């Protein structure tokens, strides 16, 4: 059977109507209802009707978990084979751990909402920012961060694909970073519409709170390896997994290396398991020889199964 990997998207891939490609597939709606019952929020309505609360971090993180798990369950329900490797981008790492059987969906829902709350709380409104830098290599972006920091926090935090890096830190430092990156030859550098500067040192207080919360969360040994963002490694030991999740909050998402590691493991195909096509695009730009199908509807599920179940 073909060796393939699944990638799970994070924040930024949510949109109203994002699950409509699955029609009235019961497993999709049921997974959202489970999330709504657990957290007291109508996530199905959030995913299907125009609203202002979809992009609030404390809603988006559990919503994206529900969407990724729903897609995974639809894949399983229709007889999809088991991937050889899993990885998730930022919040998507939690979805990957649920799919691997490391953490239960029931436990993951309040965990990711808590993660969102402590991230939001760690940095006051207007204090932090994130920006996308396009058309500069990673080292040039890091150099721009050093130059523009001026005693504040400014780091390259999402190494998404060659020539696409996200920076984060104090807002004024990020704004300086945009100008320095442009001066160094970036094709574009622009602020992102986010309220939390994820994956930089400003998240250390949130990481400490997450570490305390995780002490009471029980993890199992998974049935599929999950590559973690912080160090592009898979762990079977529960304490190592928890440590990787804590470090992930203030460490860069090493996505380019993750995709390269998946390909180097002899994997010849992949799928993005969740809404949108963000990761499929990043995979294509990083390793052209690793095709990635975005499982955004039933047709895509069927296409992937025809390929992967050989």
Active-site residue list: 90, 199
Q: Which residues pair with 17 in a beta bridge?
A: none
Q: Which of 158, 167, 186 is nearest to 129 (CA)?
A: 167
Q: Rounded distance, CA 217 to CA 263, Å? A: 32
């Amino acid at each position: 059977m073909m060796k393939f990997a699944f990638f799970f998207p994070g924040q930024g891939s949510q949109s109203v109507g994002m699950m409509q490609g699955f029609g009235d597939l019961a497993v999709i709606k049921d997974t959202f209802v489970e999330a709504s019952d657990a957290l007291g929020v109508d996530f199905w309505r959030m995913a299907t009707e125009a609203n202002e609360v979809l992009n609030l971090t404390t809603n988006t993180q559990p919503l994206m978990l529900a969407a990724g798990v729903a897609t995974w369950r639809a894949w399983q329900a229709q007889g999809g084979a088991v991937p050889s490797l899993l990885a998730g981008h930022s919040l998507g790492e939690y979805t990957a751990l649920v799919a691997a059987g490391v953490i239960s969906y029931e436990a993951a829902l309040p965990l990711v909402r808590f993660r969102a709350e402590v991230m939001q709380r760690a940095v006051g409104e207007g204090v932090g920012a994130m920006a996308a830098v396009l058309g500069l290599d990673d080292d040039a972006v890091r150099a721009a961060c050093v130059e523009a920091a001026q005693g504040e926090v400014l780091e390259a935090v999402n190494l998404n694909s060659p020539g696409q890096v996200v920076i984060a830190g104090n807002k004024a430092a990020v704004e300086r970073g945009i100008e320095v990156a442009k001066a160094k030859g970036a094709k574009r550098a622009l602020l992102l519409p986010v309220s939390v500067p994820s994956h930089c040192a400003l998240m250390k207080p949130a990481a400490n709170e997450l570490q305390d919360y995780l002490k009471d969360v029980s993890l199992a040994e998974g049935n599929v390896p999950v590559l973690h963002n912080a160090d592009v490694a898979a762990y079977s030991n529960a304490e190592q997994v928890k440590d990787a999740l804590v470090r992930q909050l203030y460490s860069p998402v090493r996505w380019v290396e993750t995709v390269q590691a998946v390909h180097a493991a002899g994997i010849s195909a992949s799928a993005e398991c969740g809404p949108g096509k963000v990761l499929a695009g990043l995979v294509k730009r990083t390793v052209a020889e690793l095709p990635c199908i975005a499982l955004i509807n039933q047709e895509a599920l069927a296409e992937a199964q025809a390929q992967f179940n050989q």
